């Protein structure tokens, strides 16, 4: 039987929570373990549906992956396959990240196009073009990719746009290439830096992550290591927006403000007091929020597309109107219709959404449309009158270890309940 999230609004938040390891960091790191001979211990690895999907892919390839207390132990020494089934690939968008690693390790890879949240086209053409630049022969046939590379050769690869996935895939492939690869117009996200740090901990020679040029000296023999995954900046943004929505005083242990400064800047503009120290971030939200200047999503260090929905939810009862412009994914406003069911005033035209603050939000049965949209519904429910029941929370479980648990730690009335036939 499926489950719902039941959230009763009207409670100010107060408390502390430790931020989980980053979903968008651990997935490419799990793919990178294919390059390391020996055991890898990942500390702070979040227990997510997408992590489970990655574990299934690793096991399908012949690797060992199992939990040891709070660490995920991975040993890829016994890898025996270079293909991933269509069923496994469809479980998440990030499965494409395995392509570069398998190609570098095996010299060939066969897999289908990935699945995941339906946020509009997220083509992997940049991944494929970059891999071809490194010498891979790729044949696309019936939704499958057949990749061969007897020898990958390092060179400069210029990305048409700073794609996180393409940058990471090319970093992995380049570890198995001869010579030096330079990825120009690379994505600058903190998760790319985390991947570089992991690879270097395994013996790779990667530099420049966090800038627009990443350099990889291929041909190094990589070994296992123990590595701690960075904190999840989008989970931190979610809980900051939860406090902004409900009001309150919370502390996020482990959160790094430098990773989400555009989000904290928007919340300060809205009237929250956000401070950071070496241990984490504190948010104090006492008054009704104000509308903020235009929020335009952009590649890092711009405003993250993954935080757009939760900030929108936090501003539903603000004074004035806020304009959102989504510049990364086409279908990133699928949560809007569900927020409107709760009394929100939002008008959407193409890539632009205008949120006009309302006095009150009310409870309603709502449905998750995607991972971050589902989190946004919970953020809005914290400020709504009555009990909001959020269904299809399988999307939320892809990116949050236990959203209800963490919200309860911050003082919210949020629980998982079994879904009955009548909802």
Q: What pLDDT, in 10s, does the model give residues 342-358? A: 999 999 999 999 999 99
Domain-located, residue 224: yes
Same domain, 260 and 372: yes
Same domain, 181 and 327: no
Same domain, 271 and 291: yes
Residues near 28 by beta carbon (within 8 Å), at least 6 away in sequence? 94, 97, 168, 172, 191, 195
Asked whether residue 123 is marked as a ligand-binding residue, the answer is: yes
Q: Which of 74, 18, 34, 27 is nearest to 54 (CA)?
A: 27
DSSP letters for 368-399: --SHHHHHHHHHHHTTSBSEEEEE-THHHHTT
Are 361 and 383 within 8 A, CB to CB?
yes
Return the pLDDT at 208: 98
Asked whether residue 24 is marked as a ligand-binding residue, the answer is: yes
Q: Binning pLDDT at 50, 70 and 90, where does residue 236 land?
A: very high
Q: What is the mean pLDDT of the chain?
A: 95
Are 17 and 403 within 8 A, CB to CB?
no
Return the pLDDT at 331: 81
Return the pLDDT at 116: 44
Q: Binning pLDDT at 50, 70 and 90, where does residue 1 land?
A: low
Which of the residues are catalytic? 117
Euclidean distance between CA atoms 415 and 8, whole angstroms: 9
- Predicted confidence (pLDDT) at residue 115 exceeds the cutoff of 80: no
- Predicted confidence (pLDDT) at residue 122 exceeds the cutoff of 80: no
The string of pLDDT tens digits covering residues 57-85 is 999 999 999 999 889 999 999 999 999 98
Same domain, 249 and 161: no
Same domain, 170 and 248: no
Q: Of 210, 228, 246, which closes a domain?
A: 228
Return the pLDDT at 422: 55
Asked whether residue 37 is marked as a ligand-binding residue, the answer is: no
Asked whether residue 231 is marked as a ligand-binding residue, the answer is: no
Same domain, 382 and 238: yes
Mean pLDDT for the stretch of residues 371-388? 98
DSSP SS3 for 28: helix
Euclidean distance between CA atoms 282 and 276, whole angstroms: 6
Q: Of 206, 228, 250, which closes a domain?
A: 228
Same domain, 205 and 269: no
Same domain, 199 and 222: yes
Buried b (16+ CB within 10 A) or exposed e, 108-139: bbbbbbbbbbebeebebebbbbbbebbbbebe
Same domain, 287 and 185: no
E strands along 127-254, which residues? 137-141, 144-148, 156-158, 180-184, 205-207, 213-217, 222-223, 226-228, 248-253
CATH of the domain at 283: 3.65.10.10
Sheet containing strand 156-158, edge to edge, reads 156-158, 180-184, 213-217, 205-207
Same domain, 47 and 70: yes
Asked whether residue 126 is marked as a ligand-binding residue, the answer is: yes
Q: Of 228, 246, 270, which closes a domain?
A: 228
Return the pLDDT at 82: 95
Mean pLDDT for the stretch of residues 305-334? 95
Asked whether residue 328 is marked as a ligand-binding residue, the answer is: yes
Same domain, 29 and 159: yes
CA dihedral 129, 130, 132, 134 (to 10 degrees): 170
Return the pLDDT at 421: 57
Domain-located, residue 423: no
Asked whether residue 260 is marked as a ligand-binding residue, the answer is: no
Domain tally, the chain: 2
Mean pLDDT for the stretch of residues 204-216? 98
Euclidean distance between CA atoms 13 and 11, whole angstroms: 6
Are 349 and 311 within 8 A, CB to CB?
no
Q: Is the peptide bond before 301 cis (omega within 30 degrees of 0)?
A: yes
5, 19, 397, 400 from 365: Cα distances, Å = 10, 28, 19, 21
The range of the structural domain enclosing residue 55 comes to 23-228
Q: What percentage of the chain exceeds 90 in pLDDT?
A: 89
Using only C-alpha atoms, what is the Rg of the chain? 21
Return the pLDDT at 423: 53
């Amino acid at each position: 039987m499926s489950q719902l999230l039941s959230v009763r609004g009207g409670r100010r938040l107060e408390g502390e929570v430790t931020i989980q390891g980053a979903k968008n960091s651990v997935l490419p790191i799990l793919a990178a373990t294919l390059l390391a001979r020996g055991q890898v211990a990942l500390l702070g690895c979040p227990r997510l549906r997408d992590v489970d999907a990655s574990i299934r892919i690793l096991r399908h390839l012949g690797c060992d992956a199992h939990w040891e207390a709070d660490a995920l132990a991975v040993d890829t020494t016994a890898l025996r396959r270079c293909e991933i089934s269509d069923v496994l690939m469809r479980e998440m968008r990030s499965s494409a990240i395995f392509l570069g690693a398998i190609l570098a390790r095996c010299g060939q890879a066969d897999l289908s196009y990935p699945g995941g949240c339906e946020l509009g086209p997220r083509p992997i053409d940049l991944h494929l073009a970059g891999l071809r630049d490194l010498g891979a022969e790729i044949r696309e046939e019936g939704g499958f990719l057949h990749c061969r590379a007897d020898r990958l050769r390092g060179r400069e690869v210029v990305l048409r746009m700073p794609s996180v996935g393409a940058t990471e895939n090319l970093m992995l492939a380049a570890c198995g290439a001869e010579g030096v690869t330079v990825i120009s117009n690379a994505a600058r996200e903190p998760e790319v830096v985390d991947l570089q740090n992991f690879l270097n901990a395994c013996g790779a020679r990667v530099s420049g992550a966090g800038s627009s040029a990443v350099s990889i000296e291929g041909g190094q023999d990589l070994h296992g290591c123990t590595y701690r995954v960075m904190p999840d900046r989008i989970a931190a943004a979610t809980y900051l927006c939860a406090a902004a929505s409900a009001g309150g005083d919370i502390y996020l242990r482990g959160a790094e403000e430098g990773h989400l400064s555009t989000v904290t800047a928007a919340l300060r503009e809205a009237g929250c007091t956000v401070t950071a120290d070496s241990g984490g971030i504190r948010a104090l939200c006492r008054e009704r929020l104000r509308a903020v200047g235009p929020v335009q999503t952009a590649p890092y260090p711009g405003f993250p597309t993954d935080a757009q929905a939760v900030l929108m939810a936090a501003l539903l009862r603000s004074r004035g109107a806020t304009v959102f412009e989504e510049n990364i994914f086409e279908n990133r406003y699928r949560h809007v219709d569900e927020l409107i069911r709760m009394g929100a005033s939002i008008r959407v035209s193409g890539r632009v959404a205008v949120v006009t603050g309302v006095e009150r939000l009310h409870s309603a049965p709502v449905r998750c449309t995607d991972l971050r949209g589902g989190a946004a519904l919970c953020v809005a429910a914290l400020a709504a009158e009555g009990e909001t029941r959020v269904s299809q929370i399988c999307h939320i479980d892809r990116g949050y270890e236990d959203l209800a648990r963490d919200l309860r730690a911050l003082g919210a009335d949020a629980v998982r309940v079994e879904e009955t036939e009548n909802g």
